[in-house]
Amino acid sequence: MPLFISRRNRGTRSGRSDVHPVDEVLPPGKLLAYGVQHIAAMYAGVVAPPLIIGQALELGPLDMTLLIGASLLTAGLATLLQAVGVWRVGARMPFVNGVTFGSVAPILAIVAQHDQQNALSIVYGSVLVAGVLAFIAAPYFSRLVRFFPPLVNGTVITLIGLSLFPVAIGWIAGEDSEAPDFASPLRIGLGAGTFLLVLVLNRVLTGFLNRVALLIGLIIGTLVAWPLGAVDTSTFASAPVFDVPMPFEMAAPSFNLSATISICIVMLVAMMESTADMIALGEIVERPAGERTIAAGLRADGAGSALSAVFGGFTCSAFAQNIGLVALTRVKSRFVVAAAGGVLIVMGLFPIVGGVVSLVPKPVLGGAALVLFGSVAASGMKTLGKADLGNSLNSLVVAGSLGIGMIPIVSPDFYEHFPAALRTVLDSGISTGCLVALALNLLFNGARSAGAEQEPSSAEESPDTASEAEEAEGARAESLPLPRSGEAHGETEPSERPL
């Protein structure tokens, strides 16, 4: 019996009705298709930081390829660690990890202060220290979860969705307002067309095709954009077929106190955002993230960042856009994300594969992203429905938090005259909004709103995180209610389709 329970908790193949959808192992074809869809949603985000940093370092084409390959490889390793888990490391949820964009600004500051080789060495040393410290601090940081009632949860989740919209708009219109094609009719047309296409496909398709509607929309959008000259094939044409990132190949780590402090602050902000993201994802997949899950997820962030420094990457954190994909498709299996992690590793080892994904034009990706990010905001509003917004004080918590959280999103230079250390936190709308929501909720509703420490649900337990509880977990699992028809397979009835 213990063997049976252990295998079930590590993931059960499609067809079993007594397993939570998060732990279900889908058929290989679906795993791969859904996993590739996750990669399509996050690829631009994972390659943008190494591209920006590499350009600041004035790296040549080969070194730039190595830097991007290292970021893809380490994103895959960190994602696998989060989804599958090892011991008490990994949230064991459909949680995608990759290079956090929050680290770009302080890394560029380090690059500006040192020559190329020394700058990379200091960056990797700082990321290594920050990752180790995050791993150690994870169980203490996770205790913040008790201060996230639905009022705070819903506000933060909504803010996550809203904060991502400028990213999608930037992909559609372009990042450089001086560029000749900025906000051109072609770019806007491709973005609007993909946006409408994804909505229509989600409405008319059913079953498996409904779940990969985003991927289908991206493929069709790319095929339409190709004859219009909107597909850039340069990355694909120049990408090497095979390359293995070696430990400290780019630079051996060295240590600088001020640089290490700045990256540690970035890691602290990333941990705060990851906590909010895990809480949001827990609401979406209907498995609330308790302290144990959050601690395990934050350990994976720290371990992934430390490992990333070894292979030439940067600080790793959650990718909120993939939470939107889970909300949109309702495919909750963590093994889908594990498959995405495996593909990311292949892309890191075979850069030419990554070149294929890079063929998707930014406007096409932005049009699809509008639907994804809107799904995150809608999930936050759904969670807010559980709070008593008829209470004027609760409404003030939401209003104040969204107002402060939107400042760096609406006006990125609003805090430009503040000290650099403060800007690391203030420039993140998610972090500032989260802090304000926590503070206002405690101010208006007092300690009673924090609630008792959350106990992990029976669905959260597994032999990997608490081997001593195997027998108790099995007994509890037997008493769980059966999911509705189709739910265990990540499918819904036509009336329950997301769009």
| pLDDT tens for each residue of 469-489 | 443 444 444 444 444 434 444
Residue 37 lies in a domain: yes
Q: 320 in a domain, yes or no? A: yes
- pLDDT the model gives residue 13: 54
**Residue 448 is inside which H or E element, if any?**
none
pLDDT value, residue 470: 42
Decide if 446 is inside a domain.
yes
**Is the CA virtual torsion 403, 178, 98, 219 positive or negative?**
positive
Determine if residue 464 is left, alpha or beta; phi over 0 gives left, psi from -120 to 50 gives alpha, anything else beta.
Answer: alpha
Residue 132 lies in a domain: yes
Bridge-based pairing state of the strands 316-318 and 97-99:
antiparallel
How far apart (Å, rounded) are the C-alpha atoms in residues 285 and 327?
Answer: 8
Write out the residue range of the structural domain in which residue 174 sits: 2-450
Token pair recorded at residue 46? 């994972």
Tell me the per-residue pLDDT of 117-157, one tens digit each, with 9 for 90 and over.
688 899 999 999 999 999 999 999 888 777 878 898 888 88
Q: What Cα–Cα distance (Å) separates residue 59 from each residue in 120, 122, 182, 315?
A: 11, 16, 27, 20
**Residues 90-113: tens digit of each pLDDT:** 999 998 988 887 777 678 778 877
The answer to the question of residue 491 being in a domain is: no
Would you list the DSSP string of 175-214?
S-TTSTTTT-HHHHHHHHHHHHHHHHHHHH--HHHHHTHH
Tokens 């420039």 sit on residue? 427
Average per-residue pLDDT for the chain: 80
Work out how many domains the chain is built from and give that number: 1
pLDDT greater than 80 at residue 392 = yes
pLDDT tens, position by position, 56-77: 787 776 677 778 888 899 999 9
Q: Residue 461: pLDDT above 50?
A: no
Residue 397 has pLDDT above 70, yes or no: yes
Alpha helix segments (H runs only) across 406-451: 407-410, 420-426, 429-445
Q: Residue 99's beta-bridge partner residues?
A: 316
Q: Torsion angle, CA of 335/40/166/96, rounded to 10 degrees? A: 20
Angle between helices 61-83 and 28-56 (to 10 degrees): 140
Nearest to 380 by CA among 317, 318, 427, 433: 433
The predicted structure's pLDDT at residue 273:
80
Two tokens at 112? 């500006």
Q: How many CB atoms lie within 10 A of CB 408?
A: 22
pLDDT tens by residue, 304-314: 999 999 998 89
pTM for the model stands at 0.70
How sure is the predictor about 424, in pLDDT bands with cuts at 50, 70 and 90?
low
* The dihedral formed by the CA atoms of 412, 322, 47 and 342, expressed in degrees to the nearest 10: 160
- Residue 222: name the closest of 214, 168, 47 by CA: 214
